Amino acid sequence: MKTAYLTFVTTLLLAFTANANPRVYLPPVTLADSAKGIETDGLNLEMAAAVGATSGMDVLTEKDIQTLLSVAAGQEMLGCDSIKCQTDTAKLLEVDFVLRFEVAMVENKPLLVGVLMSPSEGRVIRREMVRLPQDVAAARGVPILATQVFTAGGGSSVATAGLNTGEAPDGEAVTLEENKDPLVTGSILVMLSREETSLLDEAGYGAVERMAAEALGDLANITVISSQEARDLVIQEANATNMGQESSGVLAKVGAALKADYVVGLTIGDLGGAAAVTGSLVHAESAEVITRGSITMMDTTNLGPAAQVVALQLLGIEKELPPSPAEANRFDVKMKKLAEQVAKTWADGKPSALSRLAVMPFEDVAAEAKVNGIGKEASEFVKRELAGTLEKQLVSAKKHEELFSMKTKPIGEWAEADFKESARFLGASHILTGEVKKLGNDFLLRAYIYDDMTGEKKGAGHVFFPMGDPSKLITKAFVVRTKEEAIFRSLVPGFGQFYNGPKHRVKGFAVLGGTLLGLAGAGYAGYTGFEVAQETRIYDATWERNGAFSQDVVDSIANEYNNSTASTDEEFAALDKEIGDKYGLPFLSLGCGGADTDANQPCKDRIDEINAEAGQWYMIAAVSGGVAAAFYVWGIVDAYIYGEDYSSIMEE
C-alpha cells in the first residue's frame, strides 16, 4: 500500500512538472502543542496559496491527494462535493475541466480557495486563495477569486474618478484589467443550485446566476451559455423532485445537452448570519475537476457580487478584495491612503540621504472639522503611517513641541517666511502640511509638501472623507474628549486617565491602585488603633461606666462583693484579685482600686503603653490616608494636564 501510494504521488508530481505552470505537493501544516485544536485544513490551504504565489508553482495539498486516491480506488463518493462525483459530472457534460471552490477559517477569519484540476491528466492545474478579514464585506470582492484561477497572471485596475485619487466612487464597479487570458477557453454554462436557503427567493437566484455569467462573459475567449434552457433541462432531468441541490450527474447531462465546454456550478449556503458561496469548474470531455473554491462573507445582501468573485477566481483572474463602502469610508482607511500618496510624492522627489521631513498639523478650514479636530488627528495618523517607511527622515516629535510653544500664528496663516523659519528650526528640508475643507457633504483632506531649498509648495495627495451621519462616520474615527470631562471622571480614582486614552492607562491603574491601597491601609490601621485603645477601659477606675462591660456583668461583680464575707484588707485584696481574674478586669487583679497612689501605678503604666501603641497605629493610618490623598490629587491634576480635546479610536 505504501509503495503504491508513493508511486501515485510521484507520478502525480511528475505530471505537474510537465505543464508550463508546474504544481508542487504541500504536506499538511504541522501544529505545535500550543496550537492544538486549530483547524488544519484552513492552515494547509493558506500555506498552499503562499507557496504558489512565491514559487510560481501551483500547490496540491494532502486533502487533494487523499481525494484523488479515493477516486483512483473507486470508492463511492458522498454527495456532489466529492472529486469523483464532479468527475462523473464532467464526463456526462463532455467538458474539459472542473472548477472547485473551498472555504476555510483561520484564526476565525475566512479563507477563500480555488483549485483548478485537469481531468484528462488526473492532476491539479491551478490553485488560488484569498484571505478575508472578518469585518470586510466579501461580497464586493466576488469578481476576484474566480478570475485568479483561470488566468496565467494576476493584478487589477480600479476605475478612478475625480482629482486622480485612485479611488472608485461609491456604486461604480471595479473593472477587470484588460488583456487577461483565461487559463481555459470555450463555452461555459453557469448554474446556481436552488439549495434550500432563506437568503434568496427564486428571483434572487436568477439575479445571482446572471451576475456570475456576466462576470465571466467579460473575459477574452469565453462564451457564456444562457442558463434558462439549462434550468428547464435540470427540472426535466430531476423530474422536479431533486431541486434542492442538483447532483453533478444532473448538471453534467445539462452541460452535454447544451454542448458546453465547461460547467460552473455555484451553491449558496446560509451559515447563520453569514453566507458561503461555493463553486466548481468541470471540464465535460475529460470529466475531471479543474478547480474549486468558495468565499465566506458576513454581508448576506450582496450574493450576486459574491457569485462573481467565485466564478472569476475559477478562471484565474487575480484581484484584491475591495473593502465594503462602509469600510472604505472609515477614517483610518482614508488616512492610510493619504499617507501612501504622501510617501509616493516624497519618493518621486528623489530626496537625498540628508533630507528631513517635518509633519505639521493640518489646518481645519471647515468649521465642522474644527469641532472634531480632524486636521490634527489626520496629521498624526499620517505621521504614524510614514514612520514605518521614512522613520530616519522624519523630524522628532520633541522638536515639534518646541516649535509650537513659540509659534502663535495659526498654521493656515503661515507665509513663506514662516515655513522657512520653522524648517530651519526643525532642521528639516521639507515640511508636510495640509488642510481640511468642506466640499459638499464630504471633507476634503489635502496634503502639501513645502521644499525649504526651492520655496516650492506642491500637492502631496488628498482624500475625501464623507461627513454623513457623525455617529457613524466622524465619531467612528474620533471620540470627543475634554479636560473638564477628564476632571469630572477623575473623581473616581484613575478614571480620568482611562478617559484620556490608552497612553495614560498605566497611570490610571497606578492612581486607582495607589488610592485604594492607601485607603485600605488607613482603614485597617485606624480600626486596629481604635481596637487597641479600647483596652485602656479595663485598666481605668471608671470601668463600671466606660462601657468596658455590660450592665449585667457590672451587676454580677457588685453581687460578688455584696455576698462576700471579707472583712480585712488582706481578704478584700484577695477578693479583688479573684473577681478581676474571673471577669478579665486587670484594674481589680492588679489591685489598682486602692487609695494608695503607688498601688495604682501598674494600671497607669499599662494605660500609657496601650495609648502609645494605639498612637502608632493612628500614625500609620494618617500616613496611609495621606498616600491615598496624594494619589487621588495626582489623578485629578494629571487628568487635567493631559486631557485632550479629542482622541482617536485607532489608538485604543
The span from the CA of 321 to the CA of 317, in Å, is 12
> Average pLDDT by consecutive 10-residue portion of the chain (652 residues)?
37 39 48 41 53 50 45 36 50 49 46 53 51 40 42 30 28 33 71 64 69 76 69 54 48 69 77 69 66 67 72 68 53 80 84 78 78 77 78 67 65 68 74 79 80 79 66 43 80 87 85 92 91 84 79 81 75 78 79 66 84 91 92 91 56 39
Cβ atoms 280, 113 nearer than 8 A: no
CATH topology of domain 331-476: Rossmann fold (3.40.50)
Q: What is the pLDDT of residue 126?
A: 54
Q: What is the pLDDT of residue 632?
A: 93
| Core vs surface per residue 563-594: b (16+ CB within 10 A) or e | eeeeeeeeebbebbeebbeebebbbbbbbbbe
Residue 113 main-chain phi, psi, to 5 deg:
-130, 140
In this structure, whether the domain defined by 80-323 belongs to CATH 1.20.1250.20 is answered with no
Q: What is the pLDDT of residue 652?
A: 39
Cβ atoms 601, 541 nearer than 8 A: no
Q: Which long-range contacts (CB under 8 A, 24 or more apart) does 226-231 make?
A: 227/189, 227/190, 227/191, 227/192, 229/258, 230/189, 230/191, 230/254, 230/255, 230/258, 231/191
Q: What is the DSSP letter of 35?
A: G
The neighbour count for residue 424, using CB atoms within 10 Å, is: 11
* E strands, 405-441, in order: 430-439
Per-residue pLDDT tens over the stretch 363-375: 878 777 777 777 7
Per-residue pLDDT tens over the stretch 566-602: 777 777 777 777 777 788 788 877 777 654 566 778 8
Q: Hey, do 80-323 and 331-476 end up sharing a CATH topology, with the first three levels equal?
A: yes
The span from the CA of 354 to the CA of 433, in Å, is 20
Q: What is the pLDDT of residue 360?
A: 78
Amino acid occupying residue 596: D
The span from the CA of 234 to the CA of 321, in Å, is 33
| Distance linking the first and last C-alpha atoms of the chain | 57
Per-residue pLDDT tens over the stretch 424-434: 777 777 878 88
Q: Which residue ranges make up each domain of the chain?
A: 80-323, 331-476, 481-652
